[in-house]
Amino acid sequence: MATLNLLHIPDDLYERLQELAQAEHRSIDDQVITILQNALETKTQQTEEERRKNVLKLLEESSSRRRLNPADFGLPDSTELIREDRDR
């Protein structure tokens, strides 16, 4: 397990951390680890939520796009081809 040493923690921040650790019956080390884990999980969840929103946005944009017409590419209309085939 890795070791992390923090230097120059403001006194008021350390006191608040100590109070929170006591309230949750944890050591300061355990409390810091818990806070870091929660922060990283929250960040990951936000990223996943942002991805979902982006996917939904892309789907909405693609559904509003104009469908391609074969005539735009110089291709004959399939209906005409079917009629020609039936008339043979």
pLDDT of residue 54: 76
Length of the chain: 88
Residues 6 or more apart in contact with residue 31 via CB below 8 angstroms: 17, 20, 21, 24
For residue 87, the one-letter residue type is D
Percent of the chain with pLDDT over 70: 84
- Decide if pLDDT at 67 tops 80: no
pLDDT of residue 66: 62
Q: Output the pTM of the full model.
A: 0.52
For residue 69, the one-letter residue type is N
Rounded to whole angstroms, how far apart are CA atoms 73 and 71?
Answer: 5
Residues 6 or more apart in contact with residue 34 via CB below 8 angstroms: 24, 26
- Decide if pLDDT at 9 tops 90: no
Average pLDDT of the chain is: 81
pLDDT of residue 42: 76
C-alpha Rg value of the chain to the nearest Å: 31
